[in-house]
Structure 1
Amino acid sequence: MPPDRPRRIAFAGTPHDAVPALRTLAEAGFEIPVVVTGAARRRTRRGSDTLSPVAAAAEELGLPVSHDPADLAGCGADCAVVVAYGQLIGEDLLATTPMLNLHFSLLPRWRGAAPVERALLAGDDRTGVSLMALEATLDTGPVYWRHEVPIGPADTAAELRNRLAREGAQHLAGSLTGGLGTPQSQSGEPTYARKLTPADRQIDWSQPAAHIHRQIRVGGAWTTLDGERFIIRGATLQSGEAAASPGTLVDDAVATGDGLILLRTVQPAGRAALDAHDWLRGARLPPATRFG
């Protein structure tokens, strides 16, 4: 286990979700001897390799960057903090350096790769952030604290991740400064948040409107129109029953198994996202057009 009040803290993380924790630790005055992150990679088909968000933030903060997780043990840190690093850390490394993991769920619910998305898809009314001692097995370590966050009826996965990242970073710095205390073994029935596949994001219009709305709020929900993929980026639930078959376009809404989904932002194949009203005006679709 790490010391109760560590001062020299190595950091491992890669995406935007990990940046608030790194910045907050630096602003709180902790010594950060190394930041381990994913290597630079091409993020668009025609673009050049770009740094990970954590690498870019570390360079801005003047912190040394590494792509080798072994450096977490070789820097003389009191402990390491891991936030959405994206790679498994081996048991041999865990045996040499105590590590803390900031995980975006109320463990043991939603262990795994996509806890925010799975909580949203399942219709959970709350989620949160947990700080646990990192173990070689998947998100099973004892927990120092859990911070609960409500899930609003219109919250998107991106909005939730941003909120969890910010609030989790503040709680992390506060606990490291004020004393970690003794972690407690996880209790309750675990659930597992496997990574979402394209099939998880495909809309079945015969499903209830609330379920489809959650898919859209997760991000990347898609259907088909005239045989081509059609992404729905934003939508709201519309009151009233659907007087049409599921998948049928009714003015600027789509019929589902039990109601209507009002389109807000859409992305037809080969185009950028645009306002649904603008798309409908230009598309000149025939009556009773159907998706899927």
Structure 2
Amino acid sequence: LVEAGHDVALVVTRPDKRRSRRGTTEPSPVKAVALELGLPVSHSLDDLLAVDAELGVVVAYGRIIPERVLAHLPMVNLHFSLLPRWRGAAPVEWAILEGDAETGVCLMAVEAGLDTGPVYACESTVVGEDETADELRQRLVVVGCRLLEVHLAEGRAGLPRPRDQVGMPSYAEKIEPAQRQLHWEEPALRLRRVVRLGRSWTTFRGQRLGVLSAAGADADGSSPPPGTLVGDVAVAGGGSRLRLLVVQPEGRRAMAASDWLHGVRPSAGERLGQ
């Protein structure tokens, strides 16, 4: 927005929090950039009530904007899905988890409801077969910036006529850690999607094992129990296979799965998830 020549009256972002093992508090990335640009920063939405601005722009704020604030300052929101599909907190993750072929970004009006406002413009993009949530999110940020640049060039008055969302809505609730656990009775395709979310995990010999990268693998015709390790390949549901590429043992750094296997030397029939 600054590069496009807009005057930013106030930046509202989350409070500083602990972001490192040293225990020191650090600002959010949004706050850090705002301070570098010399912009005023607040952690309270109520401070917007004292701002004389034309329009508010919301991006991944993660909280409902109170009606008293919206009554004072109209707002638009960049939402990372093709609404009304995946309203809510984790649209990128759910698009991957459910195998959506495409997703996108919508520029929408902010209302009191959860992502229910009319839409000014949307731009779609294909979801890559092996694209992670972080990779997809970074691409959507670029798409969203382009939407803002085009449709806010003349400020609020230049916004296109909004249209109501059409279709059956679906909801993208926050992904909890338990939903990132790999259940080996599920098909490998589903497990690959969970891995693409980031921070997926299983267990081995009673300890947590992060699975940071994985790929599909051809079945060999045998049918050992789900979770059984055959080299760097784990047996999944329906006889499918998942090849481990990068893992992170509990309390250790990330490493190639081949290096981890060389160290733990699984015995015949040993299984993940135990």
What TM-score do you get using the length of structure 2 for normalisation? 0.94
Q: Secondary structure at the match of 2:78?
A: strand
Q: Which residue of 2 aligns with 1:187?
A: 166
For residue 234 of structure 2, what is the amino acid of its counterpart? V
Match of 2:47 among 57, 71, 86: 71
1:253 aligns with 2:233: yes
* CA distance, structure 1, for counterparts of residue 12 and residue 121 of structure 2: 24
Contact 2:12 2:41 in 1 (8 A): yes
Q: Which residue of 2 aligns with 1:271?
A: 252
Task: Decide which moves more: 243-252 or 154-163.
Answer: 243-252
Contact 1:242 1:256 in 2 (8 A): no
Alignment of 1:1-292 (within 5 A): 25-177=1-153, 179-241=158-220, 243=222, 244-257=224-237, 258-292=239-273
Q: Secondary structure at the match of 2:50?
A: coil
Q: Secondary structure at the match of 1:223?
A: strand
Q: Secondary structure at the match of 1:88?
A: coil
TM-aligned CA deviation for residue 239 of structure 1: 2.4
* CA distance, structure 2, for counterparts of residue 248 and residue 240 of structure 1: 13
* CA distance, structure 2, for counterparts of residue 126 and residue 72 of structure 1: 35
Contact 1:108 1:189 in 2 (8 A): yes
Q: Secondary structure at the match of 2:261?
A: helix
TM-aligned CA deviation for residue 45 of structure 1: 4.5
Q: Which residue of 2 aligns with 1:19?
A: none
* CA distance, structure 2, for counterparts of residue 282 and residue 229 of structure 1: 16
Q: Secondary structure at the match of 2:105?
A: strand
Contact 2:64 2:114 in 1 (8 A): no
TM-aligned CA deviation for residue 151 of structure 1: 0.5
Task: Decide which moves more: 211-220 or 267-276.
Answer: 267-276
Contact 1:241 1:260 in 2 (8 A): no
How many corresponding residue pairs?
A: 268
Render the CA deviation track for 1:35-90: whole Å, top value 9, x for unaligned: 11111100234330000010011111221111111222322110100001122211
* CA distance, structure 2, for counterparts of residue 74 and residue 105 of structure 1: 32
What TM-score do you get using the length of structure 1 for normalisation? 0.89
Render the CA deviation track for 1:161-210: whole Å, top value 9, x for unaligned: 11101111111111111631111010100000011112211111111110
* CA distance, structure 1, for counterparts of residue 264 and residue 183 of structure 2: 23
Closer, same or farther in 2 for the Cα pair 1:242/1:38, shift >3 Å? farther
Q: Secondary structure at the match of 1:26?
A: coil
Task: Decide which moves more: 159-168 or 271-280.
Answer: 271-280
- Give the unaligned 5+ runs of structure 2: none
Q: Secondary structure at the match of 1:236?
A: strand
* CA distance, structure 2, for counterparts of residue 235 and residue 36 of structure 1: 38
TM-aligned CA deviation for residue 147 of structure 1: 0.8
* CA distance, structure 2, for counterparts of residue 73 and residue 26 of structure 1: 22
Contact 1:132 1:143 in 2 (8 A): yes
Contact 1:242 1:259 in 2 (8 A): no
* CA distance, structure 2, for counterparts of residue 241 and residue 89 of structure 1: 54
Closer, same or farther in 2 for the Cα pair 1:50/1:89, shift >3 Å? same
* CA distance, structure 2, for counterparts of residue 245 and residue 46 of structure 1: 43
